[in-house]
Structure 1
Amino acid sequence: MTHRSEEDFRSIAENAPSLILRFDKELRHVYVNPAVEHTFGLSSRAMIGKTHFELGLPESVSRLWTDALRHVFQTGEKSTLEYELETSGGRLSYRSRLVPEFDRNGAVVSVLVVADDVTDVKRTEQTLRLSEERYRRFFEEDLSGNFISTPDGRLLACNPSFAKIFGYATVEEALGQNASLLYTSKEERKVLLQLLKKKKKLINVQRQMKKKDGTFIRVVANVSGEFDGRGELVQLHGFVLDETERHMAEERLAQSVQQFRKVFEEGPIGMALVTPTFRLLKANESLCRMLGYTEEELLEKPIQDFTHPDDLARDLDLATRLVRGEIPSYQTEKRYITKDGRTIWGLLTASLLHDQSGIPMLGIGMVEDITERKQAQEALQKSEERYREFLHQSSEGIWRFELEQRIPLNLPEEEQIDLFYRYAYLAECNDHVAKMYGYAQAEEIIGARLEDLLVRSEPKNVEYLRSFIRSEYRLTDAESHEVDRLGRPRYFLNNLVGIIEDGKLVRSWGSQRDITERKVAIELLRQSEEKYRSLFEDTKDVVFISTPDGRFLDMNQAGVEVFGYASKEELLKVDIAKDLYVDSEERIKVGKILAEQGFVKDYPTLAKRKDGKQLIVLETTTAVRNESGEVVAYRGIIRDVTEQRRLEEQLRQAQKMESIGALAGGIAHDFNNILNIILGYISDLEHPGIDSERRSHHLDAVRTAVERGSGLVRQLLTFARKTTGVFSSVNVNETILETSKLLAETFPQSIRFELNLSAHPDRIQADESQLQQAILNLCVNARDALLDSENKHGVIRIGTELVDAEAMHRRFPEAWDQAYVLIAVSDTGVGMDETTKNRIFEPFFTTKELGKGTGLGLAVVYGVVNAHHGFVDVESLKGEGTSIRLFLPTEQDSGRSPAATGGSETNGAPTERVGRGETILLIEDETMLLELLQSLFEDNGFRVLVARDGLEAVSIYAKHWNEIDLVLSDMGLPKLGGWEAFLRMKEINPNVKSILASGYLDTVLRTDLIKAGAVDFVQKPYVPEKILAQIRAAIDGVISSKSRMPGT
């Protein structure tokens, strides 16, 4: 076997559901595929190099295998072995095919075994098994020379290969002959029938037989007999092959069938096999899914039934020409009608397989769903129409200059400028451009030469073009000095970009605004400037004059220093909104205020220096208007209060630190509860005698506890305003059952749980983790109250019921939703006095000893209820116990809750491999987590590239960006953080798809991530089914802004 063949074999075997093994001459295992490992619970390492006896299999099974393998090695013949075996899935029946593998000298060097689970087949009724065996023998024993005949020689069926072997032109011609004519003598056939009656099946029978023209041929045949209840032979079936081509035909056929089956069945595009008369023989899953039919439904329908009527004639014409041999293949776009009546577009590629005589045998059709592409083409056409509409309706001038000859970019600047003036002409513009030059409409100015518009004698215009060249033909807010049709000077502010092809400039696009009036206003402002120049320069505050559209006209030295620029000239070139405001929308807000009331005073905002450092500033600005009342400039003062605010924040932090010490003990207390659950179950899992049901229960409990830990972190971060909740539809009863079951197994046995849950509770929209945390906190408080009582035991009661709007409104006048779910947690503990009850929801208030509680438990409960637009009620008597009731709106009434922006959560494990061969770049610095995720993704059909720090990730992405479908990156990485690495990848490929992950994420930063182009965010720890679903959704492009940013 060649290296390539071995690779193909490995690729197929590793993904095959059958058990595939290979044995050497010493009958030792030399290869087992993953299906073997899974079935027998042994790793390949444990099996390789060992015989069945050495693996400790039952002696009867080991002896059976030993005899069978030796027979194949000694005879070089294939063999089939059926047996029963105890596996991890119970006692199963297997049918194994033992195939000898030969070296070039024809010696058997190894035996390949393919074993299939035939347990269900064994249980099939006898009559069905007989029919299945007839079908399987006819179609699976070989694809060449199949036949079925009667004992008297009548051929009941045969395939084209059988007819061809014996020299018949068609199957019909062969079926008209008696099989006895194919033997050299009638006596020879009688001997064969007697032998078959005795042995029931003849393997590798070599015979000299006759073709139609009397020519003798040597064949090898497998023949099986079918007998009735009396043991009488009623039918013969088998296959024949030319002996000289047997080995080559077997290898070629096996490889071809296997490769084609894999491509056909697993291909991502629709595929079908059709007869030369256009009848469907087989359809793959992709085609069925595309059209909405099962394969059985499709095979019963003519192609016309799911071809659009308008495309049918052209499709049949092409197919007919293909069958006639007029064209070797064809490709066409056509419409299909799906089962539910939808019309979709498909790209059909059709070809034809011929036999050795050139007769068409089989048609192969491949259909790619191009509906989205066709829709995109229609959208593009509409976009072009919208562009034309935008071009003519835009309030700015938009133009396109073409070049009569392309300008090479490697020419000197002066030569490029000369050529630009010589060859550039106005090819397209809107009416606004025409009006700027004194024309009525665009048609009057189109065709004008550049030199007629842009005054060449003006040095600033030459510098304007030079800047265009030096900026690599992309210039923004560049001023040009031009003349209109009457020769009057005009000043324009331009944005332009050059179109480069093959290293040459071919055209330029741009937009322009008439700033002639602004230039006049600037001159007027300049004339009045001297009146206050001294104050302007000497003050320590930033004093400025700017245009309404965001450019500084002047700035004092204090401004240069505050914003960290090298000179005033450099600062005057900046875009104020983009370069000095952290949020450019703030500049727009200030402009609106100035337009409405003419001034702003001490307007607070976040600014940024040139080096990116943020400043807190107060802005006091006045609008400057011309004689017509139009705002032509802003004049104002900016005061840097960053240091002042920093000192204020230090004071607040110092006050907050007094309360932080109380957190540590309570957090440890809650996490120890969770860790105790995990450790307890893991300890029980270590017992060798634990049954599978109990093991599954324990693993579920550990998983739930881990999720509780994650939820506790998320809850604490929510309380600290570090993260946002993820809301979904929640069954309250299920959440209580799950939580109480976990608590019952961890609380002291002296405490009992009693549940009184509504039989049909409504669902609510909630963050399930927060809801679980609230119930957990209430139960922990109840437990502590019971343990503080004299006998240290008692009952925790949890109940639910539905409360209607009228009852709620009587109790809480501000409650207006239609219905609420009541969750009541009661205990028989020590209770509270009135003073304590009035303070229980205060943050950091606790009656416990130092280190045994944070005082946040009930504060978190109150925060959760508030976040869900609910209400809370408390009843307690000293010495008698406490009852806390939570009222939460039912699902139909919770549209105002954050759940309306629902998260990208996915419930349940995937039913199939979600990957389709896409490539994921996985970035994680925790080695164990990296290996776990890599294994998870690869097992689910993804190709995985890994990196352990940000710099390595950027390097890998730079090399393989066009192969990578998605990047999954931790935020906290060594050498270069996940955020910075993502931005660098975005520089390489602006369309990079990236999911970023962290234990927590600040809401502002989360918003920045999505604005920067990240497709999703994952809250650690990873949940396999959820991260797989998010990856699938991100690759398919179905994540919406709501699913990416729950609660924002």
Structure 2
Amino acid sequence: MEIKKPKTSRRMDRAVRPSRRSSFGSEADFEKIVEMGNDGIFVVGGDGKILFANSMASTITGIPRERLLGRDFPSALGKEEKDFLGSFSGREGAEGQKLCVEMEITTELGEKKAVEVCLVRGTPRQGEGKTYVYLRDITERRRFEKEIRNSEEKLRTLFERVRHGLFVSSKEGRFIECNQAMLEMLGYENKKELLRKDLPQDIYVRVEDRVRFMERAEREGCVKDMEVEFKKKNGEKITVLLTAYPIWNDRGEVVGYEGINLDITERKRIEEELRKANEFFVNLIQSSVDGIIAADMKGNILIFNRGAEALTGYRAEEVIGKIHITKIYPEGVAKEVMKRLRSPDYGGVGKLAPSQLSVVDKEGREVPVQLSAALIYDRAGKEVASVGIFTDLRPRLEMERKLQETHVQLVSSEKMASLGKLAAGIAHEINNPLGGILIYASLMMEDLPEGDPRRQDLARIVSEAGRCKEIVKSLLEFARQTEPKMEPTDVNRAITEGLFFLENQALFHNIRIVKNLDPFLPPVRGHAGQLKQVFMNIIVNAAEAMHGNGVLTIGTSSSSDRKRVIVEFTDTGEGIPPENLPRIFDPFFTTKGVGKGTGLGLATSYGIVQDHGGTIHVKSQVGEGTTFAIELPVWLEAESAVGEEMEREKQSEVAMGR
């Protein structure tokens, strides 16, 4: 069924056709052109009625094309005429001039759309009183623009709310944009003030940092976490981590930079405090003379201080992360330590009161130590490590041993002092009867005729009594505690008298004594009794070193300038270990068993030789023997007389043809 156009529509067509033909040449051309676009096109008569509408006009308004024709144009847009005309209020245009406004329309279906409406008043050539309307649906564009505005607003809000300093700067060294955090970071109140500042001069502490930043940004395409120092408005320095990217123009030239500054001043301060605290903690641990060792619960050593190095002989780098904690204990001890740490009976759970045990050094030797230990827990109360403080007990034990020896030696010294007094008393008591025996034996010998066999017995009595008298004399000299008087002393005689007192003792029965005594030895400046005591001490020590069996060689000689006398005692004993040689003259030092020596003999001898202005030296080889060499200054006043006597004897020997 053919739908006939209403008369009004036909009249509109007739009214439009002349214009179409005159403008486009043919109605077909006009139809084709107006249907090609995406805009709605209306032709409105002078009375406001729609004379023509293309299909897009129908689509935008939601009104079929047939119903648009002859309709008041404002109503097609869901508008009242006054409202529609109000949109163009004050915007009257001349003929042929386009007037455009954006408005919101309501379609017949109630749908609201944003549209752009453009009106062009016809010229006389196009037909008097006609208006050409272009209608463009901008709903999607409006939505997109709104989204962009919302996005920009969100970005701006985000830009301002970020707690780190965001910026855009020019290549010339000015801030173009920055956020509030950047202002606060640098101590400025408003952007206008900061944007006027010259970055290299006013913001960077070191201008070369700005140059270095620009070079890196252009060379590498970005700068990440570059540490630089900035100046705040008040001159205070802050440290920031700078991350930025260059901004390029269409010609590939860098025109600026955008990035973020992270203020790490507080972090740096905390890091420095932590570094100092850690350094103090490390120094505290390393400065301890005691060994401090910490290990995790798997037994991996974490801390090994210098005290532990000295105690065990290991270096820290040899054990940390390489040696299990059980390796520094004797077998089973590490397990026992952990057992005690977890027990309440040894100082409380997690603690170990000072306990004596041993550790094993690098050479496999056990070292006595005192251990105090503790478990380390995390916040959840879980065991994470253990730490121990190891005190080397060797010095203390050695001191205790020495104190014990000293106590024994002091007791022995007291006994010796008492024995000396007793010997002096006994000597005095024996001396008188001996004198009587000698006198009466001598008188009896005088009364007996020559050849009487009893004279031989009496002579033996006189000889032995004389020997006893010499022994008593030596005892008295040994026990006498008087200030020594220095005088010319015959060293050979002092040695001979000392041997006389000793060689009949049981210790010397299997010792061969070889005497190489210089008969022309000059006298020394000294005290005979004290020198005899020195020689006897050395001789007795030599006999004990040979365990009563060996050869003792005693020699005396003069130095080449005849200003000193040299006395040497060489035995074939067991020798002195090298580690003991520096200590043999120390008071109370002895290698003899308890009760067998006081450790004062050589110390006393050393002091006597020093008092005589002499020196005493020792050379020893373990397993071969020992030599003590004593040098004493000669008695210079007697030296000339001795020299003359020696010269006379030499001349006498020459005269006799020897």
Tell whether the structures are fold-level matches, with TM greater than 0.5.
Answer: no
**Higher normalized contact order (CA 8 Å, seq sep 6+, divided by chain length):** 2
- TM-score bracket, normalised by the shorter chain, equals 0.3 to 0.5
Asked which structure has the greater CA Rg, the reply is 2
